[in-house]
Amino acid sequence: MNFTAKTIADFLHGELVGNPDVMVSDVSRIEEGKQGTLSFLANPRYEKYLYTTQSSIVLINRDLPINGKLEPTLIKVEDAYKAFATLLELYASSLPKKSGTEQPSFIHPTAVIGSDCYIGAFAYVGEKVTVGNNVKLYPHVYIGDGVRISDNTILYAGVKVYQGCAIGANCIIHASTVIGSDGFGFAQGDDKGFKKIPQLGNVIIEDDVEIGSNVSIDRATMGSTLIGRGTKIDNLVQIAHNVEVGINTVIISQAGIAGSTKVGKNCVIAAQAGLVGHIKIGDNVIIGAQSGVSNNVEENKICLGSPAIDAGTQKKALVVFKKLPEIYKKMNEFERYIKEHPQDESKKNPD
């Protein structure tokens, strides 16, 4: 689908500088721009490419100064990154939509399927499932008995949702993610063997949540594992049984949260961070990459390291840590000096 610069500028309420009739049919990164594509410039580090790119249209911030000759048509907006994201949404909405039920697939007679849904080949929809309107279940999706899925939610290929779980409206769950697998609950007996504890709860995912690929969210032992509204979860994340994640929280790749931990709203848990079980993370907390959190964290805190501590303290500690080899060397030199000059020490202590 082709768009003119004027059409895009009008849609974004932007200021047009250049040819209003230039056409684009695709997007590209500004450093790899090609004729007929649109790019954006939001990071100042990439400003040099504005003067060399072959892109036909570039979105820029209104306050960006122009310091050279330009080839592309410019559209000036308040926030180029957000404007570009808005255009991508427009483009995505214009693409053909999947619809209907492909065969072979299985839908239990007691399942209730809303209007305008897509059910891909080899999908399985179990007993007493409720699926809302405009839901898309891509091939090989498994929906267990009693699951509820609300309107406009998309489950990509191979997603598995175990029995009794609930997924809200406008959610996106990417390929091969598992919702509602058993929590890791075992009791060790006198013989040192492990007896499985039945996991009788479920998982509740609220509205507007996006979950990446190969994520595992375990069902609660009793009650519910809860993912709050607007939360975004990256690929390869593990969330254990009875965890509760507050609204608008971001959890990044390879992070893991152990059982019964409560995470507040508007938090960021960075890549490869690990949280032990039965702790509480306050609202607006940022946990740095590869941090190991073993205690409660108060709201509005930033913590780093393993064990995780306040970011300011951790940064000071890292400065000292880098100097440890030098400090160790000086200590050894001092010890040798004391051994070689015992008389100097005796002068300091005449008694």
- In the predicted structure, residue 346 carries a pLDDT above the cut 90: no
Number of domains in the chain: 2
Q: Is the pLDDT of residue 199 over 80?
A: yes
3-state secondary structure of 234: coil
Determine what percent of the chain is predicted with pLDDT higher than 90: 77
Tell me the sheet residues that pair with 17.
74
Beta bridge partners of 3: 24
pLDDT tens-digit readout, 83-93: 999 988 877 87
CA 78 from chain center: how many Å?
26
Q: Tell me: the pLDDT tens digits for 252-305?
A: 999 999 999 999 999 999 999 999 999 999 999 999 999 999 999 999 999 999
Q: How many residues does the chain have?
A: 351
**Structural domain boundaries enclosing 114:** 100-312
Residue 347 has pLDDT above 60, yes or no: no
- Other C-beta atoms lying within 10 Å of the C-beta of residue 114: 15
Average pLDDT, the chain: 93
CATH number of the domain enclosing 61: 3.40.1390.10
292 & 238 share domain: yes
On whether both 64 and 113 belong to a single domain, the answer is no
Please give the Cα distance from 341 to 205 (Å, whole number). Answer: 71
Distances (CA, A) of 278 to 108, 138, 188: 39, 36, 19
Question: Could you write out the DSSP letters of every residue in 312-340?
Answer: HHHHHHHHHHHTHHHHHHHHHHHHHHHHH
> Helix, strand or coil for residue 6?
helix
Residues 31, 106, single domain; the answer is no
Does some domain include residue 325?
no
Within the chain, how many helices (H) and strands (E) appear? Answer: 5, 40
Q: How far apart are CA 297 and CA 268, in angstroms?
A: 13
pLDDT band at 348 (very low <50, low <70, confident <90, very high): low
pLDDT of residue 292: 96
What's the CATH code of the domain at 217?
2.160.10.10
**13 flagged as catalytic:** no
* Residues 48 and 31: beta-carbon distance below 8 Å: no
Do residues 29 and 58 both lie within one domain? yes
Q: Is 31 part of any domain?
A: yes
Q: How far is CA 184 from CA 192, 260, 278, 294, in A?
A: 17, 12, 14, 19
State the pLDDT at residue 321. 79
State how beta strands 292-293 and 274-275 pair.
Answer: parallel
Mark whether 61 and 172 lie in a shared domain.
no
Residue 328 lies in a domain: no
| Whether residue 165 sits in one domain with residue 189 | yes
64 and 195 part of one domain: no
- Tell whether 15 is covered by a domain: yes
Residue 9 in tokens: 């500028």
- Residues 41 and 67 sit within 8 Å (Cβ to Cβ): no
Q: Say if residue 156 is in the same domain as residue 107.
A: yes
Residue at a domain's end among 78, 94, 110:
94
Cα 332 from Cα 351, distance rounded (Å): 27
Is residue 351 in some structural domain?
no
Does 2 have pLDDT greater than 90?
Answer: no
Quickly state the pLDDT bin for 323 (edges 50, 70, 90).
Answer: confident
191 and 221 within one domain: yes
Residues 162 and 207 in one domain: yes
Does 46 share its domain with 165?
no
Q: Which of 68, 94, 120 is the last residue of a domain?
A: 94
**Residue 201 domain flag:** yes
- Which residue, of 76, 94, 112, is where some domain finishes? 94
Whether residue 118 is found in the same domain as residue 77: no
User: Which pTM value belongs to this model?
Assistant: 0.84
318, part of any domain: no
pLDDT tens string 34-77: 999 999 999 989 999 999 999 999 999 999 998 888 999 999 99
Among residues 140, 241, 278, 341, which one is catalytic?
241
DSSP 36: T
- Axis crossing angle, helix 5-12 with helix 80-94, rounded to the nearest 10: 110
Return left, alpha or beta for 125; rule: phi > 0 is left, psi -120 to 50 is alpha, else beta: beta
Contact 264, 257 (CB under 8 A): no
Q: How far apart are CA 202 and CA 162, in angstroms?
A: 8
**Residue 333 within any structural domain of the chain:** no
Q: What is the pLDDT at residue 168? A: 98
